[in-house]
């Protein structure tokens, strides 16, 4: 451990992290990489007011075995995730796609003709999005009603981050990357999220340090990592054989300042 660094004490009872998933949706703007981010509602019980990638927690309905035949390319993606239970891995992929549709209006799914669904050209999708978010519709029911197939082969695994042990709310989050599909227009849901924007990763990090853009540590570290790529295609192509071990930061104090330490890394980061 770094000299002088005092980790926060581990509580007597450690909260079990909830499984969750998120997607870094990327595109190019004037040959520069941009990612889509959402501002969480100020009253959110987690990261209220912060900008995040679209995503959320696993629902029981995401585990429905009937989804196995409605998700294209999930097996190799689960292998990349190093998930010991393939069904659980597939459910996390469904969760990521479902939550990204609910929160951002981006649906990584194929129509019957094999194209990614062009949401802007077809009626009814906004109503389905609202119903899905309200729990009135499941991912399985959406697929059966519309004839879509979820496009796991349009995702690449990026990382797995776990909330520190001292926290009273904890998440075990799988991060994926995807290219922004054509024929769709992302937008926040005005329920869980209240604003949205495309942003260059380096600009987002700089704005957060200047105090005009709230970002929590896992998001900022991810932005720093993906910001090293020049374009969206480069980012997507690089997401092969990524480390899949869960990363659980340690939070502590050094010289009166809160700092974050990552496993196997002696650098102390700002929270």
User: H helices of the chain, where?
Assistant: 74-81, 86-104, 125-133, 139-146, 201-209, 217-226, 232-238
Helix (H, G, I), strand (E, B) or coil at 66: helix
Ordered mean pLDDT values, 10 residues apiece, the chain (271 residues): 84 93 95 93 71 96 98 98 97 98 97 90 90 97 97 98 91 98 91 92 92 89 95 96 94 92 89 82
User: H helices of 165-267, where?
Assistant: 201-209, 217-226, 232-238
- pLDDT value, residue 43: 63
Q: Which residue has the tokens 């209220």?
A: 48
Using alpha carbons, select from 33, 26, 102, 9 the residue that is nearest to residue 62. 102
Range of the domain at 83: 6-269
- CA 265, CA 224: separation in Å to the nearest integer? 16
Which parts of the chain are beta strand (E)?
6-7, 18-29, 32-40, 51-52, 55-57, 71-72, 109-110, 149-151, 156-162, 171-179, 193-199, 250-254, 257-261, 268-269
Domains in the chain, number: 1
249 lies in some domain? yes
- pLDDT value, residue 47: 65
135 lies in some domain? yes
232 lies in some domain? yes
255 lies in some domain? yes
CATH of the domain at 98: 3.90.79.10
- Long-range contacts, stretch 221-226, CB < 8 angstroms, 24+ apart: 221/262, 221/269, 222/24, 222/53, 222/158, 222/159, 222/175, 223/35, 225/159, 226/24, 226/26, 226/33, 226/35, 226/158, 226/177, 226/201
- pLDDT value, residue 88: 98
> Across the strands, what pairs with 202?
none
> Across the strands, what pairs with 156?
177
221 lies in some domain? yes
196 lies in some domain? yes
80 lies in some domain? yes
1 lies in some domain? no
């Amino acid at each position: 451990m770094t000299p002088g660094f005092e980790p926060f004490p581990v509580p007597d009872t450690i909260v079990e992290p909830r499984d969750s998933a998120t997607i870094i949706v990327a595109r190019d703007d004037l040959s520069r990489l941009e990612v889509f981010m959402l501002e969480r509602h100020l009253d959110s019980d987690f990261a209220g007011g912060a900008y995040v990638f679209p995503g959320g927690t696993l629902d029981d309905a995401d585990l429905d075995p009937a989804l196995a035949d409605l998700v294209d390319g999930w097996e190799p993606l689960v292998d990349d995730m190093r998930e010991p239970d393939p069904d659980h891995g597939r459910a996390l992929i469904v969760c990521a796609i479902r939550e990204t549709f609910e929160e951002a209006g981006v649906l990584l799914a194929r129509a019957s003709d094999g194209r990614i669904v062009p949401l802007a050209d077809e009626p009814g999708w906004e109503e389905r999005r609202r119903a899905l978010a309200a729990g009135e519709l499941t991912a399985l029911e959406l697929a059966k009603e519309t004839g879509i197939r979820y496009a796991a082969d349009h995702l690449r695994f990026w990382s797995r981050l776990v909330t520190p042990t001292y926290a009273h709310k904890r998440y075990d989050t799988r991060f994926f990357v995807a290219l922004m599909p054509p024929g769709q227009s992302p937008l926040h849901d005005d329920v869980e999220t209240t604003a949205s924007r495309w942003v260059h990763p380096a600009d987002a990090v700089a704005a957060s340090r200047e105090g005009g853009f709230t970002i929590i540590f896992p998001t900022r570290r991810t932005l720093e990592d993906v910001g090293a790529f020049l374009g969206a295609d480069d980012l997507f192509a690089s997401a092969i054989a990524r480390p899949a071990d869960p990363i659980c930061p340690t939070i502590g104090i050094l010289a009166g300042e809160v700092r974050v330490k990552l496993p196997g890394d002696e650098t102390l980061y700002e929270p």
